């Protein structure tokens, strides 16, 4: 017998060789039905996995990340099998599970079209109904290469060749279909209840534009039809909210072929961006940050000192000036190190919080570019905090509170992930241990729940990432806190301690918005272009009913502008219904209708985007209430609907 410790802490004794599935069935029939994979001592395994030693076991369902991953990984295998049945000469590349779905890359002479997706999907349904068992088997590397070569799968052979010579290679078989795969998978194709193929795309083999362009098919899958329907409805809503579409319609930004990945910010977009930056500056002023600005381009020596020249050069834009290598900065940190060194620092100066709204450039592959979400040039709301070792926890708590305030201002909820030392990293084991323990201690003292991401930290230190959730349930990684004990050492930063000796400061890298442009894209989609009044490019749109109302309307415009309210006047000789419909498409928060009554009484007729008709009111009353709404950075109108 072996002892199995379950998630709830209970111990279950089972016979040696009992499968994960059998243990799930012994716990409850419902758990066995919903189980997707298991987790034994932290490692994900198939339900068929045999327990031969004492262990900790967690039964994972679809709602667990690894459960959904295995479910959709199986879905990608089903799609590959369907494609091979319909187009037998197709060569298989890779087919991973991704967030909310899966894809597979294919090399075939046949050019896939949308109609093919329907055929492939129908074949997938047949494979699901065939109830094919997924069975794992392993081969030595040489045999695995021969096995795939005989099947004509050149891409699989290349993948195997990259593995160590003594590696044991795993495969999964379902019916007559076999794929190279590390796993894990569901037990049978029948477990994949609801599937939908979504789109086609091109993808270079291994993401290298020098390699062959393959055809990629994206899809998604769920254990219930209702879950699939809900997801597809969300996708439809996301299309309506697409920031690229709304950005063009609302004249916020432009994406031009003359600058792929380099968005052009239009006047109305600059209003939004500048108001975000104004809020950022107010917040950081309250938190005792000082603001700096560093050059956009610095020489190779700096980037070698920081380590970016060796760890990040492929993502940097480099050039030769006066026979010396320079790089356009992909991040602000190294320049901030030089600012710190402009003066001798004392322990009394620390913590020193330096903020920078810095323009950075990163070389992204053209296929990865996506509106404002993935660009080659963006504005980063960076900050670096230099501190004493005993100040680490308090400073992390301060940053967590600041980022929490930012997200609450926009109505976002979020979750936190803690990422630890990656395989390629700088620094000693002792430094990394202290850094990781400091981040954990701060989160635990604040009672902030977090997910551990082993090995996903930056090369210079562990990090806390904030993943905000939007109104469609999507998550976006924006804020981050990175603890760094390496860069102060590489740049020989120091401060004079209480003992009169030189010491090395500890440093935090952190952002709240992340990329201002990306955060704008998220906000456009979150609000569907309907910005709250404080952010709206045009806060008030004045509409005249007839030409004779223009003089009074211009007086209203002047009064609003004198109070700092952003206003536009539409006094065209058009019917008022037409003007209202056009103004509604602009999604501004308020319209003021000016007619005979308003001109005579010195009032305005107010229409709220979010509430509807508010009726007539004195102009001063409208201004007073709107200024409160703007001043509080409220997400909701401060007006009340007229009775």
Known catalytic residue at 215: no
Phi, psi of 241 (to 5 degrees): -95, 0
pLDDT digits (tens, 9 = 90+) for 64-113: 989 999 999 999 999 999 999 999 999 999 999 998 899 999 999 999 99
Residue 72, Cα to own-chain centre: how many angstroms? 20
User: What is the model's pLDDT at position 288?
Assistant: 96
Q: Which two tokens stand for residue 244?
A: 């690229």
Known catalytic residue at 184: no
Pairwise CA distance, residues 512 & 481, whole Å = 9
Known catalytic residue at 212: no
Known catalytic residue at 463: yes
Pairwise CA distance, residues 384 & 508, whole Å = 5
Known catalytic residue at 382: yes
Catalytic residue among 184, 333, 336, 478: 333
Pairwise CA distance, residues 459 & 457, whole Å = 6
Catalytic residue among 362, 518, 541, 587: 362
> Which residues of the chain are modeled with pLDDT < 70?
642-643
Catalytic residue among 73, 84, 384, 541: 384
In order of their start, the domains of the chain are 2-61 (3.10.20.30), 66-235 (3.30.980.10), 253-296+330-526 (3.30.930.10), 540-631 (3.40.50.800)
User: What is the model's pLDDT at position 642?
Assistant: 58
Catalytic residue among 105, 382, 431, 571: 382
Known catalytic residue at 362: yes
Catalytic residue among 73, 156, 216, 509: 509
Phi, psi of 546 (to 5 degrees): -145, 165
Catalytic residue among 81, 174, 215, 380: 380
User: What is the model's pLDDT at position 484?
Assistant: 84
Known catalytic residue at 384: yes
User: What is the model's pLDDT at position 643?
Assistant: 54
User: What is the model's pLDDT at position 194?
Assistant: 94
Enter the pTM of the model: 0.81
Catalytic residue among 463, 541, 549, 566: 463
Q: What is the CA radius of gyration of the chain?
A: 29
User: What is the model's pLDDT at position 353?
Assistant: 97
Pairwise CA distance, residues 402 & 281, whole Å = 12
User: What is the model's pLDDT at position 12?
Assistant: 87
Structural contact between residues 52 and 40, judged by C-beta atoms closer than 8 angstroms: no
């Amino acid at each position: 017998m072996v002892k199995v410790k379950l998630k709830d802490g209970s111990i279950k004794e089972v016979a040696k060789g009992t499968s994960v599935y059998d243990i799930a069935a012994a716990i409850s029939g419902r758990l066995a039905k919903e189980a997707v994979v298991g987790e034994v001592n932290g490692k994900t395994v198939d339900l068929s996995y045999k327990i031969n030693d004492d262990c900790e076991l967690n039964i994972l369902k679809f709602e667990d990340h690894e459960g959904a991953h295995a479910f959709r990984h199986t879905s990608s295998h089903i799609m590959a099998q369907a494609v091979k049945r319909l187009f037998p000469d197709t060569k298989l590349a890779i087919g991973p599970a991704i967030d909310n779905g899966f894809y597979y890359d294919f090399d075939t002479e046949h050019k896939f079209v949308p109609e093919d997706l329907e055929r492939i999907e129908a074949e997938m349904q047949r494979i699901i109904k065939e109830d094919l068992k997924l069975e794992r088997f392993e081969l030595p590397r040489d045999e695995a290469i021969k096995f795939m070569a005989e099947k004509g799968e050149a891409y699989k052979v290349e993948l195997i060749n990259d593995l160590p010579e003594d590696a044991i290679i795993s495969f999964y078989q379902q019916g007559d279909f076999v794929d190279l795969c590390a796993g894990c998978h569901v037990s049978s194709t029948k477990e994949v209840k609801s599937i939908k193929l979504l789109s086609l795309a091109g993808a270079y083999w291994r993401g290298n534009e020098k390699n062959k362009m393959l055809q990629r098919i994206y899809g998604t899958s769920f254990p219930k039809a209702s879950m699939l329907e809900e997801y597809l409805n969300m996708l439809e809503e996301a299309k309506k909210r697409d920031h690229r579409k709304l950005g063009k319609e609302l004249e916020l930004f432009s994406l031009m072929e003359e600058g792929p990945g380099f968005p052009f910010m239009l006047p109305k977009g600059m209003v939004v961006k500048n108001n975000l930056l104004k809020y950022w500056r107010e917040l950081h002023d309250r938190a005792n940050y000082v603001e700096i600005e560093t050059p956009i381009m610095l020489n190779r020596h700096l980037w070698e000192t920081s380590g970016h020249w060796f760890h990040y050069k492929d993502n940097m834009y480099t050039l030769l000036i006066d026979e010396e290598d320079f790089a356009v900065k992909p991040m602000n940190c190294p320049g901030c190190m030089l600012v710190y060194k402009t003066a001798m620092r004392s322990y009394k100066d620390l913590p020193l919080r330096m903020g920078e709204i810095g323009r950075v450039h990163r070389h992204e592959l053209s296929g990865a570019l996506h509106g404002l979400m993935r660009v080659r040039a963006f504005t980063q709301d960076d900050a670096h905090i230099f501190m004493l070792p005993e100040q680490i926890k308090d400073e992390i708590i301060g940053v967590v509170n600041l980022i929490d305030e930012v997200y609450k201002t926009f109505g976002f909820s979020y979750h936190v992930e803690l990422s630890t030392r990656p395989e390629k990293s700088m620094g000693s084991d002792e430094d990394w241990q202290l850094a990781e323990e400091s981040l954990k201690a701060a989160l635990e003292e604040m009672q902030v729940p977090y997910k551990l991401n082993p090995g996903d930290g930056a090369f210079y230190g562990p990090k806390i990432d904030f993943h905000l959730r939007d109104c469609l349930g999507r998550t976006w990684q924006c804020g981050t806190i990175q603890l760094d004990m390496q860069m102060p050492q590489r740049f020989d930063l120091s401060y004079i301690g209480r003992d009169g000796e030189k010491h090395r400061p500890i440093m935090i890298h952190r952002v709240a918005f992340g990329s201002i442009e990306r955060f704008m894209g998220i906000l456009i989609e979150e609000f569907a272009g309907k910005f709250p009044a404080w952010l709206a490019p045009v806060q008030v749109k004045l509409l005249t009913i007839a030409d004779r109302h223009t003089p009074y309307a211009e007086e209203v415009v002047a009064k609003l502008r004198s109070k700092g309210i952003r206003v536009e006047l539409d006094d065209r000789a058009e019917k008022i219904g037409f003007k209202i419909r056009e103004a509604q498409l602009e999604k501004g928060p308020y319209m003021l209708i000016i007619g005979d009554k308003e001109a005579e009484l010195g009032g305005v007729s107010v229409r709220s985007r979010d509430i509807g008709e508010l009726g007539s009111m004195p102009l001063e009353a409208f201004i007073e209430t709107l200024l409160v709404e703007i001043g509080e950075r409220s997400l909701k109108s401060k007006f009340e609907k007229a009775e």
